[in-house]
Structure 1
């Protein structure tokens, strides 16, 4: 399984450095000097990390194959990828491990299926296709997603009222006759 470590952003300076949009929790390991990373698209690489540094809270990387700003600009949008097995860390999952898991409430009520994982700035979110077909974005935080059971094929939610489309349907549904 290929995993995205980072996406190449803007060129930085004249000597070929690029800013990265990180997708890994361990950039110091994945982007260590000498690391060779495959790319997507494949014809942009592989790229060998020559050096890294953090500047104004952004990771800057220089690749051995990139000599100047022009070459660095050509890499913008390229994804750096690695081949990885399933995660062995507790409370850490790769997107491919989550996709397809059934989603249910703590009482076992079916909600739907995980169809993806997104990485907006605040925190990761699970993308859930509810049983009615609605696409719902669920903050991937322990308070709302207390259980991820990959082996059991399920994710348990304890959502606040109104988060799920099914909650909105219950509110907007037929009245009680009053």
Structure 2
């Protein structure tokens, strides 16, 4: 199982720097100079290994330089590339409030009153925060903000939501 640790958002400057949206709790380790990143090209493209030559924070993201990516054109070709690691290489830790997306996908979702909402189809990582995509028994998609006020209970067996009035009406 692959875990995404970053995604190339755009280029920066003319020397091949990449703006990367970081999706890991350990960016200093994952994007350290000399680290080898496995990059998967967007839209079904293949995978390529890249070596980090420089990394620095910039406006809440990371500016990354990679070996072999020396100009804007080469950097632009990497737009949308996902940087991946193998889930088996990561210590899941002992924190009961930390989960990987793949551990949650497929779990049943119910309300605090016990009403079945559906099954978790995906965890969307959007600029405004994480959102749960829940597939109802009728096949509709319901999007639920992944915040403690609305999702009070998450275990590796189930997800319980306390939706405000009207949130689930679109999935009925």
Alignment TM-score, normalising by the size of structure 1:
0.83
Q: Does 1:108 align with 2:111?
A: no
Structure 2: gaps spanning 5 or more residues? none
> Residue 7 of structure 1 contacts residue 78 of structure 1 at CA under 8 Å; is this kept in 2?
yes
1:94 to 100, 103, 111: 100
> How far, CA to CA, are the matches of 2:47 and 2:73 in structure 1?
14
Residue-by-residue CA offset, 1:46-101 (whole Å, 9 max, x unaligned) = 01111111233331000123222222122112111111147334322221111100
Partner residue, 1:173? none
Deviation at 1:43, TM superposition (A): 4.2
Identify if the C-alpha distance between structure 1 residues 98 and 4 changes in structure 2 by more than 3 Å, giving closer, same or farther: same
Partner residue, 1:21? 21
- Secondary structure of 2:74 counterpart: helix
Question: How many residues of Structure 1 are paired with residues of Structure 2 in the alignment?
Answer: 166
Partner residue, 1:71? 74
Residue-by-residue CA offset, 1:123-152 (whole Å, 9 max, x unaligned) = 1010001223221000101111111110xx
Partner residue, 2:153? 147
| Structure-to-structure mapping, 1:32-47, within 5 angstroms | 32-41=32-41, 43=46, 45-47=48-50
> How far, CA to CA, are the matches of 2:61 and 2:116 in structure 1?
41
Alignment TM-score, normalising by the size of structure 2:
0.86
> Greater CA deviation, 84-93 or 113-122?
84-93
- Secondary structure of 2:29 counterpart: helix
> How far, CA to CA, are the matches of 1:58 and 1:156 in structure 2?
32
- Secondary structure of 2:126 counterpart: coil
Deviation at 1:44, TM superposition (A): 5.2
Misfit runs of 4+, over 4 Å: none
